[in-house]
């Protein structure tokens, strides 16, 4: 494809993404390219490179467009600014690509030509080349919606700039080694024989991080279930469940089953894992992954909602319950940069009470002495610490298990963060942003010992669980 044709495809893909604001950009892109089989692998990579640059730095691109007097940013204008400020093409090359020829974008208007000259030439040194500019507010430089910037500032304080910059970087590609089939060293060796270079991750004992980009779908290691694509942070959340062979475990918001796969492998296929979700489509997608991994102790269970009657029927029946709750997904902005622009205040207002309902309902499944693991891929205290604090205040029969006590059996190296909970961020740990809290239900004996004694008479006082 010509440079102009690639640019036109990038503009059209951005238009398709804008037309489906709640659909993930990668899903829109996949559908877009399926209908355009003529786009080869190299062209597709180049097109997606421009599209994801625009999605990551949309706020800055819009700031520049406003500065050069294009008041209504569009996919076309954003691509123009991206080529000038991020890709840093010479102005003449950009103008030549917008040639109006077949498959290329229409010629630049006089207004666009003037804007391009200012974007590539500028009137002051600070205006030339760099996407950053000293006049940009912090939320513009960080490419975050203004409404969420105060909450992120509260979460990170003087580390905010580092975290926002890290969220603008492309995500790493991490693999989890399937312990049912191999070891990490053996998986590394096999990948190397297939031309795939990877390195052990520093925190997850099962993790590998790819060096460079390489499609994995056609490798024997992937087809044979030796490795599974999973961010290192997600691996650690599954490891925190600490499910042992023979246990009964629930993955309450299982989605496509990534963490259920990891949990089942850690149990050596012994015991019982129930992968629950309210989406039949997501559960169905997990079936192929389970078969490829050689996992056969996972049952998939479709729930109507978090209060499904199945939960009540299985009260206090499980050793471990993982709640990987629906959330804003801010911690995954490196790989889902469109998420920062599809999120609005109403989403957060609806998610926080929903998370509380899901956590309270799932807690009913935990047996005395069992553990409840609450996790999100958010960086906001409202979805993380505050959510756990609210739960513990309403459920005195649960107590947190400090991360420091859990870590020797979970991860590699020193404990990665201070405090009782797992907090992972791209800037500090090189993972997606994750939060996890492990909460243990007090044993029946403990509850009996803590129960108040009767004031008088011969009435016995029995400990009981007041959780619905």
pLDDT tens column, 390-415: 999 999 999 999 999 999 988 888 89
For residue 411, the model assigns a pLDDT of 81
Q: Within this chain, do residues 389 and 259 fall inside the same structural domain, yes or no?
A: yes
What is the C-alpha separation between 228 and 262, in angstroms, rounded?
9
Q: Within this chain, do residues 132 and 62 fall inside the same structural domain, yes or no?
A: yes
Residue 70 lies in a domain: yes
What is the C-alpha separation between 191 and 188, in angstroms, rounded?
5
- Of 229, 246, 264, the residue that ends a domain is 229
Question: Which tens digits make up the pLDDT trace of 285-320?
Answer: 888 899 999 999 999 999 999 999 999 999 999 999
Question: Which tens digits make up the pLDDT trace of 338-359?
Answer: 999 999 999 999 999 999 999 9
Q: Within this chain, do residues 291 and 372 fall inside the same structural domain, yes or no?
A: yes
Residue 168 lies in a domain: no
DSSP result, 100-116: -STTSPPPPPHHHHHHH
Q: Within this chain, do residues 414 and 304 fall inside the same structural domain, yes or no?
A: yes
Residue 457 lies in a domain: no
Of all residues in the chain, the percent with pLDDT exceeding 70 is 93
Q: Within this chain, do residues 27 and 119 fall inside the same structural domain, yes or no?
A: yes
Read off the pLDDT band of 218 (50, 70, 90).
confident
**Residues whose CB is less than 8 angstroms from the CB of residue 212 and which lie 6 or more positions away in sequence, other chains included:** 197
Question: What average pLDDT score do residues 52-75 get?
Answer: 93
Q: Within this chain, do residues 115 and 217 fall inside the same structural domain, yes or no?
A: no
Q: Within this chain, do residues 222 and 254 fall inside the same structural domain, yes or no?
A: no
For residue 217, the model assigns a pLDDT of 85
Question: Which tens digits make up the pLDDT trace of 79-121?
Answer: 999 999 999 999 999 999 999 999 999 999 999 999 999 999 7
Question: What average pLDDT score do residues 29-50 get?
Answer: 93
CA 333, 198, 240: angle at the middle one, nearest 5? 60
pLDDT higher for 126 or 408? 408
Question: What average pLDDT score do residues 431-441 get?
Answer: 97
Residue 462 lies in a domain: no
Question: What average pLDDT score do residues 253-261 get?
Answer: 92
Which CATH number does the domain housing residue 371 bear? Answer: 3.40.50.150
For residue 445, the model assigns a pLDDT of 54
CB 419 within 8 Å of CB 461: no
248-251 and 318-324 strand pairing: parallel
Read off the pLDDT band of 446 (50, 70, 90).
low
Asked if pLDDT for residue 459 goes beyond 50, the answer is no
Q: Within this chain, do residues 129 and 277 fall inside the same structural domain, yes or no?
A: no
> How many domains does the chain contain in total?
3
Residue 151 lies in a domain: no
What is the C-alpha separation between 403 and 121, in angstroms, rounded?
53
Question: Which tens digits make up the pLDDT trace of 151-181?
Answer: 999 999 999 999 999 999 999 999 999 999 9
In this predicted structure, which of 118-127, 135-144, 161-170, 199-208 has the lowest mean pLDDT? 118-127
Of all residues in the chain, the percent with pLDDT exceeding 90 is 83
For residue 11, the model assigns a pLDDT of 97
DSSP result, 200-257: E-SS-TTEEEESS----TTSHHHHTTSEEE--HHHHHHHHHT-PPTT-EEEETT-TTS
Q: Within this chain, do residues 212 and 299 fall inside the same structural domain, yes or no?
A: no
Question: Which tens digits make up the pLDDT trace of 6-23?
Answer: 999 999 999 999 999 888
What is the C-alpha separation between 341 and 129, in angstroms, rounded?
25
Residue 463 lies in a domain: no
Q: Within this chain, do residues 310 and 444 fall inside the same structural domain, yes or no?
A: yes
Q: Within this chain, do residues 419 and 443 fall inside the same structural domain, yes or no?
A: yes
* Residues tagged active-site: 377
Q: What is the residue range of 100's domain?
A: 3-143
For residue 285, the model assigns a pLDDT of 86
Q: Within this chain, do residues 208 and 319 fall inside the same structural domain, yes or no?
A: no
Residue 464 lies in a domain: no
């Amino acid at each position: 494809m010509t440079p102009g044709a690639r640019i036109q495809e990038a503009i059209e893909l951005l238009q398709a993404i804008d037309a489906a604001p709640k659909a993930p950009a990668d899903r829109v892109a996949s559908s877009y390219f399926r209908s355009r089989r003529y786009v080869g692998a190299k062209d597709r990579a180049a097109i997606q490179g421009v599209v994801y640059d625009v999605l990551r730095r949309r706020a800055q691109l819009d700031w520049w467009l406003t500065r050069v007097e294009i008041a209504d940013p569009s996919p076309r204008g954003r691509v123009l600014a991206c080529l000038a400020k991020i890709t840093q093409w010479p102005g003449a090359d950009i103008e030549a690509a917008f040639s109006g020829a077949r498959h290329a974008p229409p010629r630049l208007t006089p207004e666009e030509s003037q804007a391009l000259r200012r974007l590539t030439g500028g009137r002051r040194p600070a205006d030339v080349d760099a996407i950053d500019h000293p006049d940009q507010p912090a939320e513009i430089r960080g490419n975050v919606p203004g409404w969420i910037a105060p909450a992120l500032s509260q979460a990170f304080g003087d580390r905010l700039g580092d975290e926002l910059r890290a969220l603008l970087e492309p995500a790493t590609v991490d693999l989890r080694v399937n312990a049912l089939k191999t070891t990490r060293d053996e998986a590394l060796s096999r990948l190397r024989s297939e031309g795939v270079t990877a390195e052990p991750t520093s925190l997850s004992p099962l993790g590998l991080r790819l060096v460079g980009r390489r499609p994995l779908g056609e490798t024997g290691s992937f087809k044979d279930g030796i490795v599974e694509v999973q961010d290192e942070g997600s691996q650690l959340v599954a490891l925190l469940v600490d499910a042992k062979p023979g246990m009964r475990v629930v993955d309450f918001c299982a989605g496509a089953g990534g963490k259920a796969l990891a949990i089942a492998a850690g149990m050596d296929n012994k015991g019982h894992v129930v992968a629950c979700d309210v989406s039949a489509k997501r559960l169905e997608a997990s079936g192929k992954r389970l078969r490829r991994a050689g996992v056969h102790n996972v049952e998939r269970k479709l729930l109507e909602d978090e209060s499904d009657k199945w939960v009540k029927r299985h009260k206090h029946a499980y050793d471990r319950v993982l709640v990987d709750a629906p959330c804003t997904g801010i911690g995954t902005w490196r790989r889902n940069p469109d998420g920062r622009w599809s999120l609005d205040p109403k989403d957060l207002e609806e998610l926080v009470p929903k998370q509380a309902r899901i956590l309270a309902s799932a807690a009913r499944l935990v047996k005395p002495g069992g553990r409840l693991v609450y996790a999100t891929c958010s960086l906001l205290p409202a979805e993380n610490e505050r959510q756990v604090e609210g739960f513990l205040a309403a459920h005195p029969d649960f107590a947190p298990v400090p991360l420091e006590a859990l870590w020797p059996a979970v991860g590699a190296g020193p404990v990665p963060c201070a405090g009782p909970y797992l907090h992972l961020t791209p800037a500090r740990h090189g993972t997606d942003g994750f939060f996890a809290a492990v909460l243990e239900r007090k044993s029946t004996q403990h509850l009996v010992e803590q129960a108040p004694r009767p004031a008088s008479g011969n009435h016995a006082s029995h400990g009981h669980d007041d959780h619905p």
